[in-house]
Amino acid sequence: MDQRFGPLYDAENPWGRDDGFFLAAVDETPAARVLDLGCGTGRLTLALAAAGHTVTGVDPHRASLDAARAKPGADRVTWIEGTSAVLPDAAYDVAVLTSHVVQEIRAEADWRRTLADLRRALVPGGRLVFDSRDPAARRWERWNARDSRRRIALPDGTVVQAWTELTEMRDDLVSFVHHYLLPDGDELRSPGTLRFRTEEELQAALGNAGFTVERIHGGWDREPVGASDDGELIVVARAGAAITPR
C-alpha cells in the first residue's frame, strides 16, 4: 500500500454521523469488551477506548494498523493484524464492522465464515452492529467524475482533487477506482470491488449463523429502510446460544 494513502484516507473520512451512531450503539453496554473488525486507521476504535470500553482493533492491512498505532491514545487499544479467523472464543460483548467493511467480504463462503467467527467470538447475547449500503438506493450511479468529484484538504495544507469511477457491474458485485490527483500532477489510484447484499440476504445469513436480527435501520438517524437519503442497511443483531460444530 502506498504510504500516501493513510493521510488521504483520514482527511477524506473525518468523524461523521456513522461514527456517532456506532459509538452510541456500543455505549448501550457500559464498559463493554468491544471488537472493531476491519478497524482501518482506528478513527472509531480510539473513540471507543476513550469512552471507557476495552477495545480490540483487528485489520488485515499492516499499513492501516501502523497508522492507527501512531495516533494519540493508541496504547489503550489492543491491535491485531489479521482477519476474523484470529478471534478468541466468547471474548467480546459487542462487535462492530463499520465503513461498509462487510461489503469488502465478497465471496459468500468468506462471509459465512466471518459470521461464524463473530458468533464464536461474542458471548451469548452479545451484539453485532454493522453497516452495508442498500442496493435499492443504487449509490453506484453517483460514482462518476462529475457527481463524485471532491477536494481533500490535508493537514499540511495540500489540496488533492479526487473522484470515483465505476468500472464494472457484475451481478451484485460493483467495481470502481478512486482517483487522487496530487498538486504535482501525480495520480494515485485505489481500485476496489464491493458486494451489495439485500436486506433479505443479510437477514438469512445472520439467521443461519446463529444471530437474531433485532432491527435494521435505513439511515444514521434510525429511519426505516428506504426512508433515508443515506441509503444504508444498518444492522443490529444479537448472538444466540453457541452452536456446537458437527
Question: DSSP label at 17?
Answer: H
DSSP state letters, 77-140: EEEEES-GGGPPTT-EEEEEE-TTGGGG--SHHHHHHHHHHHHHHEEEEEEEEEEEE-GGG-GG
- pTM over the 0.85 mark: yes
- The tens digit of pLDDT for each residue in 115-154 reads 999 999 999 999 999 999 999 999 999 999 999 999 999 9
Q: What would you report as the CA-atom Rg of the chain, rounded to the nearest whole angstrom?
A: 18
- Would you state the pLDDT for residue 245? 42
- The tens digit of pLDDT for each residue in 169-199 reads 999 999 999 999 999 999 999 999 999 999 9
Question: DSSP label at 197?
Answer: -
Rounded Cα distance between 90 and 126, Å, is 9
- Would you state the pLDDT for residue 242? 56
- Would you state the pLDDT for residue 1? 53
- Nearest CA to 239 out of 221, 214, 220, 218 is that of 214
Rounded Cα distance between 184 and 186, Å, is 6
Kindly give the parts of the chain with pLDDT less than 50: 243-246
